[in-house]
Amino acid sequence: MILTKLRGLYRSLSETEKRVADYLLERPDDVIHYTITELAHFADVSETTVYRVVRKLGFNGYQEFKIGLARELATPRPIVSKTLNVDDKVEDVLIKVVNDDIQAIRDTSEVLKAEDVKYVAERMLRSRRVVFLGVGSSGKIAEEAAARFARVGIYTSAYSDPHMQVIVGAMLDKEDMAIAISHSGTIRDTVKSLQVAKDSGAFTVSITSGMGSPITQASDIVLYSSVRRDPYMEEFTSSRIPEMLVLDVLFTVITLEAYKAHPDMFRKIDEVLKPKRYL
Amino acid sequence: MILTKLRGLYRSLSETEKRVADYLLERPDDVIHYTITELAHFADVSETTVYRVVRKLGFNGYQEFKIGLARELATPRPIVSKTLNVDDKVEDVLIKVVNDDIQAIRDTSEVLKAEDVKYVAERMLRSRRVVFLGVGSSGKIAEEAAARFARVGIYTSAYSDPHMQVIVGAMLDKEDMAIAISHSGTIRDTVKSLQVAKDSGAFTVSITSGMGSPITQASDIVLYSSVRRDPYMEEFTSSRIPEMLVLDVLFTVITLEAYKAHPDMFRKIDEVLKPKRYL
DNA sequence: TTAAATATGAAAATATTTTTCTGAATACCA
DNA sequence: TGGTATTCAGAAAAATATTTTCATATTTAA
């Protein structure tokens, strides 16, 4: 939880603060025995910087942070897969990717706040229109999300073209909702589009792993996904599983509500799809 | 451990020290948030007395004691995953979806054969062209996959329109490869398109959970993903995570190969994307 | 290029922890 | 019994640690 959060925050930290984060991520077990002065010394920064990182993690003070870290480290640690290696056999890659993806889900479940999902779901159900925004890979997820939510009766659409995003964003108002997807939270086009939607009065949501990233500024509420543990791996894999999970949860909540409201709708959908299938 | 020890020590403590012990035994959860001064106040003794008790417990100092206590009190949370219920709270839904998605990944890792992945990867690397086929949700995955593989130098494209699929399929030959994605394996359009590709001489692959489904007939090789455990859940969630995992594995294998061949390519990609980002 | 914003650490202000010391209560013994 | 030692508790002092404030670089934007 704390370390997961730290990874999410990582990109938004300054160089000096990153030194603290690096030390923390590398040897959390040692840190719980250090005073702030010692940690500052080892990370080669001032106490003030350590203190600032701790505050950014949401703690009121260093002691409180250490207590939290101690609690977290006491819980048995998940099986950490070793890092990917260039000359791994396919069998090894399979195991590692599986573990990594599972870990990504676990991490996401730690940073994703149920109350936020709940709030977004409620708001979504009474929005006139919901638009999903994303470019590149995130654009595909946006489209996929739009299709899924449309199936359960939400009036929704997705835009992955920046120009269309801005145009549509400008036409939204306070009855509407815009959900932007960006893994890093730093994609200019998406941030800008969401800001336009917000300026137009729409309720804005973002799905991102980038805590404190630019997109969070343009969001009324942020649903956090996790960031990969091994930063070196990031360029190798670009799994969208964390975002998928966030959407799975949101979708399931919405679906349950929809089911409560119209229990017969699901049979209908199935009937419509039947002729498209064999069996 | 600490509290047990304290109980063992109890009889040997002085009356004043027992007041500290009593407080500790009664509300250990509170104590980890107190300073020695606060605890002394609540137990109505001096800091010195608290300090002495702590030393008797074998700690070098009060902070060290608190860390120890915090670790001890952190209890691993139980893993509960019952089936989804219509009136579950959002918190419950979150836990259940998380467990379900993790289970989906585990299941997929059991049915996915490393040797098949290896074979597909090798073949993919020496194919002239790779086309991804899929409609609906699977179409989005196909597009996403195409984009990812394109990034590592595979000449690839995706078609989610059935007409285009057939047209393109008919133009492939034995140098080419077609990868169809269909969760059930029973979508007529996709099966037909893949069959056309196969008839044209292309090497055909399918990613599906439907063992023995129609699409497997049209495939030279099948990469299996898992099917949801609870069939009742299927209409509620329609997570694409199993397919994502299969692609993650395939993608990672290919990427490692690409990295071995052109180690500098990855820096290049990052440079191209940089101006699109903040930070 | 200047102005504004941000980042960093030094120093000061607080707060906490640990040590030292003193007085009181009790025990022990000639 | 009176004197001395021992134990106990806390006050005060000393040592440490944490947090706040402020000044100075440094970067970013205009």
Task: Give, for all 279 residues of chain A, the pLDDT tens digit.
Answer: 888 888 888 888 888 999 999 999 989 989 999 999 999 999 999 999 999 999 999 899 898 999 999 888 877 665 555 677 777 889 988 988 888 889 889 989 989 999 999 999 999 999 999 999 999 888 999 999 998 898 888 999 999 998 999 999 999 999 999 999 998 888 888 999 999 999 999 999 999 988 888 898 889 999 999 877 665 555 566 678 999 999 999 999 998 888 887 777 666 655 655 556 564
Chain A contact for B186 (CB, 8 A cutoff): yes
What are the counts of helices (DSSP H) followed by strands (DSSP E) for chain A? Answer: 14, 5
Q: Are residues B148 and B256 in the same domain?
A: yes
Structure tokens at B76: 């691993």
Please choose, from the candidates A209, A207, A196, the residue with its C-alpha nearest in 3D space to the C-alpha of residue A165. Answer: A196
DSSP lists the bridge partners of residue B187 as A277
Looking at the predicted structure, is the pLDDT value of residue B174 above 80?
Answer: yes
Task: Summarize pLDDT for B36-89 with one digit per residue, the tens.
Answer: 998 999 989 999 999 999 998 889 899 889 988 888 887 654 455 567 777 788
Q: Do A75 and B76 touch (CB under 8 A)?
A: yes
State residue A236's pLDDT score.
Answer: 61
Q: Are B36 and B135 in the same domain?
A: no
- For residue B185, give how far its alpha carbon lies from the nearest alpha carbon of chain A (Å): 9
| Gap from B151 CA to chain A (nearest CA, Å) | 11
Domain shared by B178 and B114, yes or no:
yes
Same domain, A125 and A211: yes
Per the structure, the complete domain to which residue B20 belongs is given by 2-73
- Percent of chain B whose predicted confidence (pLDDT) is above 70: 87
The Cα–Cα gap between B204 and B195 comes to: 8
- Residues of chain B contacting residue A121, judged by C-beta atoms under 8 Å apart: 90
CATH code of B142's domain? 3.40.50.10490
Contact between B114 and A237 using a beta-carbon 8 Å cutoff: no
Please say whether the beta carbons of A12 and A211 come within 8 A.
yes
Judge if B99 and B214 occupy the same domain.
yes
DSSP assignment letter at B158: E
The overall average pLDDT reported for chain B is 85
pLDDT of residue B82: 63
Please give residues of chain A from 46 to 85 whose alpha-adjacent beta carbon (CB) lies under 7 Å from any atom of strand D: 47-48, 51, 54, 60-64
Task: Kindly determine whether the C-beta of residue B49 is less than 7 Å away from any atom of nucleic acid strand D.
Answer: yes
Alpha-helix residue ranges (DSSP H) falling in A28-179: 28-31, 36-43, 47-56, 62-74, 90-111, 114-125, 137-151, 162-171
| Covered bases, chain D (protein CB within 7 Å) | 7-12, 16-21
Q: What is the pLDDT of residues B194-251, one digit of tens each?
A: 999 999 999 999 998 887 788 988 999 999 888 765 554 555 566 788 999 999 999 9
Confidence (pLDDT) at A108: 92
Residues B124, B51 share a domain: no
Residues B59 and B128 in one domain: no
B97/A249 touch (CB, cutoff 8 Å), yes or no: yes
A253 located within any domain: yes
Residues of chain A with C-beta less than 8 angstroms from the C-beta of B76: 75-76
Q: What is the pLDDT of residue B268?
A: 58
Instruction: Look up the pTM and report it.
Output: 0.79
Distance A36 CA to D22 C1' (A): 21
| Integer Cα distance of B268 and B152 in angstroms | 11
**A14: CB within 7 A of chain D nucleic strand:** no
Residue B177, pLDDT > 70, answer yes
What is the number of other CB atoms lying within 10 angstroms of the CB of residue A185? 31
Do B202 and B157 lie in one domain? The reply is: yes
Residue A79 lies in a domain: no
In percent, the amount of chain B with pLDDT more than 90 equals 38
Protein contacts on strand C: list nucleotides below 7 Å from a Cβ: 6-11, 15-20
Same domain, A255 and A187: yes
pLDDT of residue B279: 47
A79 touches B at CB < 8 Å: no
CA distance B121 to chain A (A): 10
Q: Which of A74, A98, A124 is the last residue of a domain?
A: A74
- Domain containing A36 — which CATH number? 1.10.10.10
Work out the number of other CB atoms within 10 angstroms of the CB of residue A187: 27
